[in-house]
Amino acid sequence: MFDIQKVRADFPILSQKVNGKPLVYFDNGATSQKPQVVIDAISKYYSEINANIHRGVHTLSQLATDAYEESRLKIQKHINAQFSHEVLFTAGTTHGINLVANGFASILKPGDEVLVSALEHHSNIVPWQMLCEKTGAILKVIPMNLEGELIQSEYDKLLSDKTKIVTVNHISNALGTINPIREMIAKARKFDAAILIDGAQATPHLKPDVQDLDCDFYVFSGHKICAPTGTGILYGKEAWLNKLPPYQGGGEMIKEVTFEKTTYAELPHKFEAGTPNISGGIVLGVAIDYMNEVGFENIQKQEKMLLEYATKKLLEIQGLKIYGTSSQKTSVVSFNIEGIHPYDIGTIIDKKGIAVRTGHHCAQPIMSFFQIPGTIRASFSFYNTTEEIDLMVDAIKKAQAMLS
């Protein structure tokens, strides 16, 4: 049984007040809140087993190494990777994308093509632009429609033997659209193109099965799934990770170093140079355990209910327009109110303790498509409630009256 009050009690920050009002946290698309079990795990690491990993014969180093590698195994199981060495610890989604893009600099030739989508976060646009500028490859964009969906017939036209990698998000951070990535991956396979999926916004809501999807790379951030900031995962198929050169040089990623030549360590250490965020990697596993204990079926059911309820209540506000109206979307509502800048709404409702995101959400091409400066984005998590949505709607109505 899903007990929302019991779940909320796991998150100490949810009981605090902001500006004298109970906190209503609807900025989960930016980062999730952390349950007490995660907070305790951070303290436990530094209190009991703090040591560098993979390098020491002493007891603390062995305990820290075991905990770190146990977390890797948890994540392997969670995403159904074939091998644990296909799971690389990163600093987050951006780090993972840049690692792959940097590796493709040794593969692409002038005239090769990289496909991105119109729905991408800047983190899945800029690294590929930089790559194309460096290699002479061409960046092509899968267009979107007014519902915030990728136009699949146009994607079909863009795919060709020149396509070397397709990189697309699983779920749009700005609109909540769930992209049909399984079908898109299957289409790219016909042209032997590699596929990278940005799962930053998907992993809080679902469990990706990388073998079922048959993607070559899948990246996500820990801080959006109840883990600390500065943590993330790059999954890569073994064959691709062996093919790509290291992203960074230093300690840990080497097999042997002389001044004449360096040989690199086996996977995954080839891509994990230097001392990692050890506590973050360990606690990422704790956060994934917590999410699985809550249960992704429960998470999806709760968030679907919140999305439907919020959509209905918000559309009752005169002059309010929602951007991103696909039938396949997650618990994100981006909207504007006619004649009022989103920043002004966000600032006023913050005084009521309500946290939403305003702006372009690091997705300026989407805002340009809709010819708007940005939106108000309310992004819901499984620990949110309909009562909180009512508080937000009431605050928005009051802000609208003040600003009209």
Which residues are tagged catalytic?
362
Residue 354 near residue 391 (C-beta atoms within 8 A)? yes
Residue 224 near residue 249 (C-beta atoms within 8 A)? no
Phi/psi of residue 22, each to 5°?
-60, 135
Helices of type H across 232-277: 238-243
Residue 292 near residue 275 (C-beta atoms within 8 A)? no
Beta bridge partners of 198: 169, 219
Q: What is the DSSP string of 79-132?
A: HT-S-GGGEEEESSHHHHHHHHHHHHTTT--TT-EEEEETT--GGGTHHHHHHH
User: 60 in the Ramachandran plot: left (φ > 0), alpha (ψ -120 to 50) or beta?
Assistant: alpha
Strands 217-221 and 332-337: unpaired
Q: Report the distance separating Cα 396 and Cα 404, nearest Å.
A: 12
